[in-house]
């Protein structure tokens, strides 16, 4: 049995192929909850969950407000909402203003997930062109969770992962393949 209950993944520009590779590598009976918080471009606001579903063995949903978080499922933050993890293992949505020009905000999702899951959380930040996620990953670390960033050398846009490495002492800097290998050891 793994010590972790949930994996939260943040990504922006250049992260979609990486996310697709990761979710398509996880088996149908993966025993953790996987939460994806991705900045989405306007033209892929809808249809992304369907596209990922085709590739993934695990069920993927855009959670509705107050939906209980279950293991073995992938949750994708809906476009145009912030996604929070509430105490009591539930999601909550919000249409508050964008944070760092982003809604969903990776920081907000990471803060709330870190607070709820504490040391049972793995936080992963992927390729991206802004600093959203850096403070979020820091809070995962401060709450005792494990922190991973995609290797900046491999990122299409390394700004986000570098910002994370600046903000906190990240536990692992991994290539996409090593991220996948690691996630599979939690199975």
Q: Catalytic residue numbers?
A: 12, 39, 132
Of the two residues 28 and 87, which places its CB atom closer to another protein in the complex?
87
Of the two residues 37 and 165, which places its CB atom closer to another protein in the complex?
37
Q: At its nearest, how many Å lie between another protein and the CB of residue 47?
A: 13
Total of residues contacting another protein (CB under 8 A): 21
Q: Which residues, including other chains, have CB under 8 Å from residue 56's CB and lie 6 or more apart? A: 23, 24, 26, 74
Q: At its nearest, how many Å lie between another protein and the CB of residue 152?
A: 30
Q: Which of residues 58-117 bind another protein (CB under 8 A)?
A: 62-67, 78, 81-82, 84-87, 92-97, 108, 112
Q: Tell me the C-alpha distance between 172 and 151, whole Å.
A: 9
Q: How far is CA 51 from CA 46, 54, 88, 104, in A?
A: 10, 6, 30, 19
Gyration radius of the chain over CA positions: 14
Q: At its nearest, how many Å lie between another protein and the CB of residue 112?
A: 5
What DSSP letter does each residue of 40-79 carry, written as one string?
A: --GGGSSSHHHHHHHH-SS-EE-PPTTPBP-TT-EEEPPT
Of the two residues 132 and 154, which places its CB atom closer to another protein in the complex?
132
Instruction: Please report, as ranges, the residues that interact with another protein according to CB under 8 A.
Output: 62-67, 78, 81-82, 84-87, 92-97, 108, 112
């Amino acid at each position: 049995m793994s010590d972790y209950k949930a994996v939260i993944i943040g990504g922006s520009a250049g992260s979609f192929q990486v996310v697709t590779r990761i979710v398509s590598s996880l088996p149908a009976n993966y025993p953790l909850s996987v939460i994806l918080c991705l900045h989405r471009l306007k033209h892929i606001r809808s249809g992304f969950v369907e596209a990922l579903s085709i590739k993934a063995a695990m069920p993927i949903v855009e959670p509705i407000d107050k939906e209980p978080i279950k293991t073995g499922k992938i949750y994708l933050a809906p476009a145009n909402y912030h996604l929070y993890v509430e105490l009591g293992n539930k999601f909550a949505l919000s249409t508050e203003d964008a944070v760092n020009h982003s809604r969903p905000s990776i920081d907000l999702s990471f803060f709330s997930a870190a607070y709820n899951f504490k040391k049972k959380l793995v936080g992963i930040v992927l390729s991206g062109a802004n600093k959203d996620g850096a403070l979020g990953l820091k809070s995962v670390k401060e709450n005792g969770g494990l922190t991973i960033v995609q290797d900046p050398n491999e990122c299409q846009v390394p700004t986000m992962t570098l910002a994370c490495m600046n903000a906190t002492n990240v536990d692992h800097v991994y290539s996409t393949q090593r991220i996948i290998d690691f996630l599979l050891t939690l199975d």
